[in-house]
Structure 1
Amino acid sequence: MGAQSIKLKSAAKLAATLLLCGSLTACAASYRKHGYVPSEEDLAEVVVGVDSRDSVAESIGIPSSSGVLNESGYYYVSTRMRHYGAAEPKPVSRELVAVNFDTRGVVSGIQRFGLEDGRVIPLQRRVTSSSIEDKTFLRQLIGNLGNFSPDAILDQ
């Protein structure tokens, strides 16, 4: 019986050690990178005043997004997020490269921004929601009580 109890104790110690190691690795932070930013070498190939929109897209890739006003520029965005347990993911680094174009579509400047240049700007998709979705049927019914007058009913 002595040999079996020693085996049980060593198995219990092994199980406790594995459980401890598993719980410690579960609490380790993981990092994920989203987006694409061209390297300095790739950006060096873009010549200000010479390259056009098409040549920029060919040499450094299609941008993450572009300017909404007269297609003013290309924007390459990369974000590194830290995921830690059940906590909300937090941005550790964010890099933005803006390639600006003039009215002829020729590169007028290249700028690089990061978190150190300012505050964190949350990148999110904005969708316009319908005001009807937020209201229950009873709230819609009561909300319409003041929208008509008795004259409108009597005239018909």
Structure 2
Amino acid sequence: MTTRFKARTSTPVLLCVAAGLALSACGNGRMVRGYVFDKQLADAIQPGVDNRQSVESTLGTPTVRAAFNENKWYYVSTTVRVRPVFWPDPKEHRVMAVAFNDKGVVTDVENFDLSDMRSVNPVGDKTPTRGRDLNFFQQIFGNVGRFSGAAPVGSGPTRGPNG
């Protein structure tokens, strides 16, 4: 009788625990990607006052340095909502662009947010190549019979084409 009683009381508990675990997997999570901004530190950067060294000591190393202009640094931060099965959904986005002159003094500080973010869709076209278009079976069986039974170069007594 006690075995039946334990089975009856533990089943609902196990079902509740399993349902709780299953529902927690469906929850939304937030994740910060990139630089973690401190508003006071970011607002402290002043054009004409700060230089490369002071910016780096205040904000840290930049997320990205401009590829063709070493005088522009970018601090990028994106907060996304992460949901199971779906792509991450950006909720907050901030880019701080710091420009320097040739002497390394800050000339401009620009801030961009989520409204400035653009979606880039790559082109799905194919690049044409020279040669033959092979179907599936030609690719699989195309080399059958193309090779003779001769030993490969370098495996004979001469050890190569030049002896």
TM-score normalised by structure 2 residue count: 0.65
Q: How many residues align?
A: 127
SS at 1:58 equivalent: helix
CA distance in 2, matches of 1:120, 1:81: 15
CA distance in 2, matches of 1:121, 1:77: 17
After TM superposition, the structure 1 = structure 2 runs for residues 4-23 of structure 1, keeping only pairs within 5 Å, are 4-23=3-22
1:79–1:93 Cα contact (<8 Å) kept? yes
Name the amino acid aligned to 2:26.
C
Deviations 1:88-143 (A, max 9, x none): 22222211111122343321121211113444569xxxxxxxx8xxx9896xxxxx
TM-score normalised by structure 1 residue count: 0.67
1:73–1:99 Cα contact (<8 Å) kept? yes
Partner of 2:28: 29
SS at 1:63 equivalent: coil
2:71–2:99 Cα contact (<8 Å) kept? yes
SS at 1:22 equivalent: helix
Bigger share in helix: 1
Partner of 1:97: 96
Gap change, CA 1:60 and 1:76, over 3 Å in 2: same
Gap change, CA 1:109 and 1:121, over 3 Å in 2: farther
Gap change, CA 1:36 and 1:117, over 3 Å in 2: same
CA distance in 1, matches of 2:36, 2:86: 27
CA drift at 1:11: 1.0
Question: Which runs of no fewer than 5 residues in structure 1 stay unpaired?
Answer: 123-130, 139-156
1:81–1:93 Cα contact (<8 Å) kept? yes
State the percentage of identical aligned residues. 29
CA drift at 1:81: 2.2
Q: Which protein shows a greater Rg?
A: 2
CA distance in 1, matches of 2:72, 2:36: 14
CA distance in 2, matches of 1:70, 1:109: 14
CA distance in 2, matches of 1:34, 1:121: 18
